[in-house]
Amino acid sequence: MQFGSMTLIEFSPLAGYKITPKFGMGVSPTYKYYRFKDYYSTSTYSQTNVFGGSVFARYLVFENIFAHAEYESLSYNTKVPGYLKQMKHFNSLLVGGGYRQQISENAAMNLMVLWNLNDTPDSPYTNPVIRMGFSLGF
């Protein structure tokens, strides 16, 4: 979450399943809300809602190094005061790898570097995409 002249609220939980000790797959629904001050006006704000999700696969190459592939589909609508509401849809194919540091038996910190192979002007990402997160296993 971020609040101020640029507000961002994101909800992207991730659920995965370890199919073998080295291979896992999962899904991640996504919702993002942006609100930001309009560049051309000091008194108006633009806002965007992003909906979608992704499916991913990970393969543990070495003890802490993994390969990652992900297909993501997102739709967003933007409301700018004085303009028509815009609705756009885009898909991303993200590939790359990462480093996993075990914190405990069932918890780890992940750092990934990914490339969007479907990079377009509407893409929400600039290459490379860097992600950091935590995972908990049950």
- The residues, ordered by sequence, that sit 6+ positions from 41 with a Cβ below 8 Å of its Cβ are none
pLDDT at residue 76, as a whole number: 84
The candidate with the shortest Cα–Cα distance to 124, out of 74, 78, 79, 85, is 74
Q: What are the chain's domains? A: 6-136 (2.40.160)
d(CA 57, CA 69): 5
| In contact, 54 and 70? CB cutoff 8 Å | yes
* Residue-averaged pLDDT of the chain: 85
As a whole number, mean pLDDT of residues 18-45 equals: 82
The proportion of the chain whose per-residue pLDDT surpasses 70, expressed as a percent, equals 83
* 87 — pLDDT class (breaks 50, 70, 90): confident
Q: Which residue has the tokens 């790898």?
A: 97
pLDDT of 42 higher than 70: no
Q: Which residue has the tokens 């979608």?
A: 52
pLDDT tens, 71-83?
Answer: 999 998 776 656 6
Higher pLDDT, 40 or 90: 90
Angle at 82 between CA 76 and CA 83, to 5 degrees: 40
Specify the pTM: 0.80
pLDDT at residue 34, as a whole number: 81
The candidate with the shortest Cα–Cα distance to 72, out of 8, 33, 115, is 115
